[in-house]
Structure 1
Amino acid sequence: MSYTHGLYKYDLVADKGDELLRVQVKKANQNNKKPWKYRLFTEQYQDGQVDIFAGYIVEEDKVFYVAFDEVGRNNFRINTKDRTEMSDHNASEANLLEDYTFDRAFRQHMSDTEAEEQNETSSSSPVEGQ
């Protein structure tokens, strides 16, 4: 882990294999009406500034990780309920804390990066027959 120095939108650099990832650490805010739900506010970040968010849940002393491309432009919600406490439908629809590991976020980021690179390559290739 490396700490940044300067005006950057990320807090840490994680070294995973041959990849350096920009990680923004954020406190997850608890929903007052549904104390098992937490939210990260992400509207101040733009593509290319952060690779992964690390959400810290103070009340549970737990961290979850989510790739930038997965959070959307405004916020990301996480559910701390145990999968066994939910109906199958709700469990399949919820972003469960237990599922959001660093390895999962890393795989998601790499998948998103590869897809973007393929799109750039295919859009810059000359069209056959012209």
Structure 2
Amino acid sequence: MSRNTGHIDGEEAELAVAAHLVRQGCRVSYTHGLYKYDLVADKDDELLRVQVKKANQNNEKPWKYRLFTEQYQNGQVDIFAGYIVEEDEVFYVAFDEVGENNFRLNTKDRAELSDHNASQANLLEDYTFERAFRECMTDTETEEQNETPSSEPVEGQ
């Protein structure tokens, strides 16, 4: 029985990301059932919902890739992990950086680009797990601070 190429690519991406997360010091759990995320990464006792995507290559510009993220809403996913099959590379982007839009990534080295283009491009080398993890933790801390009731009296009381 032949298998759907898209499913094979998806499984390959999930395995590559899971292995990469383990190398980043995470414990990894797989979901079973219908979830909007594929993996749970446990880093320093912080749980992150990770949606794995095979990065789609732009055939006209083979150094550009994108992730389709528009089917996800805030609160369903913490981090998107992209896997570039052609490069055997993994990258990560926090949901709050992408939201419900497509995410585009450039695999050229910074030195290959003009200073202006390098400052505008989402470069592969910048989208590390540590960066996405910090972004998620910063967002979580901000949310918690906004939810914590202040013990300060409200003016006029």
Matches of 2:60 and 2:155 in 1, distance apart? 58
For residues 3-42 of structure 1, the aligned pairs below 5 Å read 3-42=30-69
The 5-angstrom pairing of residues 1-130 of structure 1 reads: 1-121=28-148, 127-130=154-157
TM superposition shift of 1:79: 0.5
State the TM-score, normalizing by the size of structure 1. Answer: 0.91
Number of residue pairs the alignment of both structures matches: 129
Q: Secondary structure at the match of 1:36?
A: strand
Partners of 1:3 and 1:18 lie apart in 2 by: 16
1:70-127, CA deviations, whole angstroms, 9 ceiling, x for partnerless residues? 013121111000011001111111110011111100001111122222233369x874
Question: Runs in 1 of length 4+ with deviation above 6 angstroms?
Answer: none
CA RMSD of aligned residues (A): 1.7
CA distance in 2, matches of 1:62, 1:10: 20
C-alpha separation in 2, matches of 1:105 and 1:39: 17
Mapped contact 2:73–2:99 kept (Cα < 8 A): no
Aligned-residue identity in percent: 87
- Structure 1 gap ranges (5+): none
- Aligned-partner SS, 2:146: helix
Note the C-alpha offset of 1:58.
Answer: 1.1
What is the SS of the residue equivalent to 1:60?
A: coil
State how far apart, in whole Å, the 2-side matches of 1:99 and 1:122 are.
36
Sort the Cα spacing of 1:126 and 1:52 in 2 relative to 1 into closer, same or farther, 3 A: farther
Q: Which is helix-richer, 1 or 2? A: 2
Which consecutive residues of structure 2, in runs of 5 or more, have no partner in the other structure? 1-27
